[in-house]
Amino acid sequence: MDERLRILIVEDEPAIADTLVYALRTEGFAPEWCATGRAGLAALRAKPFALVVLDVGLPDGSGFDFCKEIRAGSAVPVLFLTARNTELDRVLGLELGGDDYLTKPFSPRELTARVKAILRRTNGGPLRTHAETAEARGVSPTGQAREIEIDEERCLVRYRGQELQLTRYEYRLMKALAAKPGRVFSREQLMSAAWEDPGASLDRTVDAHIKTLRAKLHAVASDRDPIQTHRGLGYSLCSA
Ligand code: CA
């Protein structure tokens, strides 16, 4: 079996795992299922996989911790499965080393589309180093878009070397977008990443802050707009 098609599923709920196995197999992948994080790590040590679908809530620990263990020895792409928004906040942080996430419940079609997109982006990454994989995605090894730098310690953004004067929400939106250049974020996802109480605001609040953010980027360089609008879907940050 071609290792580029082999996908490891680490998920403790058999019904979800069955759905994942079936969906991936239908698309021509060779999925293998482990029900615990420990079993997943052992499977990864035994042979190469093209991608890991990693549930966050596992019976023997957190998917985030298992991801760190995976990252200690491998740059294999990791797609997190999350159940709660509180988990989502952590997924959006760069330090975990995941490549993307899906929030439950999701459709099998969403999963296979996401898996294919990651594999396209990372170009079958298991044989590359983490830095090479990042480079191939058009981001620096720290996960930031090249022309946009996020300084998390000082909570500021530099665009083409120039420091932007951003509001708190503009900064948080930028940070969320820059965590995954090229990835389309829905307004809902951006809102839960940037607002303490997402329920209190309306969708168009995101639009309003994106608009002011764009104006500030435009003031630095007017040749292009690094933030792309995807009609009916949301926004993404250009990956190059
Ligand atoms: Ca679970």
CA 231 to centroid of ligand 1, rounded, Å:
33
Backbone phi, then psi, for 29, in 5-degree steps? -85, 165
Q: How far is the CA of 30 from the centre of ligand 1 (A)?
A: 22
Q: Please list the residue range(s) of the chain that carry CATH number 3.40.50.2300.
A: 3-122
Give the whole-number percent of the chain exceeding pLDDT 90: 30
Q: How confident is the model at residue 88 (pLDDT cuts 50, 70, 90)?
A: low
Cα–ligand 1 centroid distance for 185 (angstroms) = 24
Q: How many whole angstroms from 38 Cα to the centroid of ligand 1? A: 14
In 8-47, which positions are buried (b, 16+ CB within 10 angstroms) versus exposed (e)? bbbbeeeebbebbbebbeebebbbbbbbbbbebbebbeee
- 130-237 to CATH, choices 3.40.1050.10, 1.10.8.100, 3.90.1150.10, 1.10.10.10: 1.10.10.10
How many Cβ atoms sit within 10 Å of the Cβ of residue 68?
Answer: 13
The alpha carbon of 92 and the centre of ligand 1 are apart by a number of angstroms equal to 19
What is the Å distance from ligand 1's center to 27 Cα? 24
pLDDT tens digits for range 166-214: 888 889 899 999 888 888 888 888 888 888 776 666 666 888 889 999 9
Q: Which CATH architecture has domain 3-122?
A: 3-Layer(aba) Sandwich (3.40)
Mean pLDDT (whole number) for 103-132: 72
Q: What is the mean pLDDT of residues 119-135?
A: 51
Interhelix angle for 37-46 vs 63-73, to 10°?
20
